[in-house]
Homo-oligomer: A and B are copies of this chain.
Amino acid sequence: MARLIDVAKAAGVSRSTASNVFNNPDMVRPKLRQRVEAAARDLGYLGPDPKGRLLRDGKFNAIAVLPPSSWGVAESLRNPVYSQVLMGIGEVCDEVGANLVVIPDRPDNHGIKNALVDGFIFGRAGHLSEIEPARLRRLPFAVVDFDPGPNISSVRVDARAGAYAAAKHLTGLGHRRFGIVSFMRSSIPAQLHPAGVPRPAEAAGMPTDQEKYRGYAEALAEAGIDIANIPMVQADPWDGKAAAMILDAAPDATAILSMGVQQGIAVIEEARRRGKSVPRDLSVVGYNDIPDALRCDPPLSTVDGMSIQKGRAAARLVFAGGPPRHEIITPNFILRGSTGPAPAD
């Protein structure tokens, strides 16, 4: 394939002049320009190859997003909460005119090592093994929902505060008997953690979910309730069985605390299936807000997990460069129709 230099030779000019014909046409006398253009046509030369330009300029005009490990590109787009993080990043891309590159996990951090981008955003909680290769690239990057220490930019949501607000709302409504749906960040079957049996921190899920657990625990303690005595089901957000499991495990609960939004919606649906009225017989709160939470019947009272803002903040941090910064976003509780006063006993 013809290169710029071939065109230059054919037209009898130097490479610089040929380059200018394509990049700064005004700088080249029309006659000469036409000669170069004709030579390009003859040789089938289609304009400068971005590869060459790239090597020279060193700027990619793109930002990479590394989704949670094992998710892949498709799953990142499908997950309604994660796709909000992507949207937030996308908004900033649109502002600065950058491309968004989704880079799935690959063996040996191949993606990170070779990504043709100007910066990274890690949406993978806790993958220190990936942060090191990213650092080696000497590119700006930020992590989301994970505390990587003071030297790495991060954006986090105060999940404890969000969960606290949700649980506090329920105790304020007089609820005293609860069930919890926690997070399983992999696709193994839902698991019951019965009341009174000691549970490891991981029973709640990832560190973020463990913070939610602490938030629940705090609010409940303030109402004199020991969270250890509340049955908990740990499940993948898409697991269809979790809602039934928690209602079975906590048959006299008047309120369900869900660490995810899909499971919160699923509990509402399962309650209806069982002839329970939400919120008259049962109150349900979720965590994170997606369009379905508004559309379901009744609309789900939930915590706005600020996912879009999270993505936006992380992208801004990366595009801004500079020294590491740490942002903590405080979530809001959104009161909708799925919560009400505890039923009289």
Chain A residues within 8 Å of B, Cβ to Cβ: 1, 46-47, 50-55, 58, 60-62, 64, 72-78, 83, 86-91, 93-94, 97, 99-104, 106, 111, 113-116, 136-138, 291-292, 295-297
Q: Are A104 and B114 in contact (CB under 8 A)?
A: no
Closest B residue to A269 by beta carbon equals B295
Q: Are A51 and B54 in contact (CB under 8 A)?
A: yes
Other A-B pairs beyond A51-B54, A51-B58, A97-B104, 15, CB < 8 Å: A46-B136, A51-B55, A52-B55, A54-B55, A72-B90, A72-B94, A73-B99, A74-B90, A77-B86, A83-B83, A99-B101, A99-B104, A100-B102, A116-B116, A291-B292
Cα distance A159–B52 in the bound complex, in angstroms = 43
Cα distance A55–B49 in the bound complex, in angstroms = 10
A–B pairs, 9, beta carbons within 8 Å: A50-B113, A51-B55, A62-B116, A73-B89, A74-B90, A77-B77, A99-B102, A102-B102, A291-B292
Cα distance A297–B296 in the bound complex, in angstroms = 9
Chain A interface helix/strand/loop/mixed: helix
**A55-B55, A83-B77 known; A103 and B99 CB under 8 Å?**
yes
Cα distance A137–B45 in the bound complex, in angstroms = 10
Cα distance A317–B169 in the bound complex, in angstroms = 53
Q: Enumerate chain B residues within 8 angstroms of A1, measured Cβ to Cβ.
A: 138
Q: Are A90 and B116 in contact (CB under 8 A)?
A: no
Cα distance A153–B61 in the bound complex, in angstroms = 28
Q: Are A74 and B87 in contact (CB under 8 A)?
A: yes
Cα distance A197–B88 in the bound complex, in angstroms = 44
Closest B residue to A83 by beta carbon equals B77
Q: Enumerate chain B residues within 8 angstroms of A60, measured Cβ to Cβ.
A: 116
Cα distance A88–B75 in the bound complex, in angstroms = 10
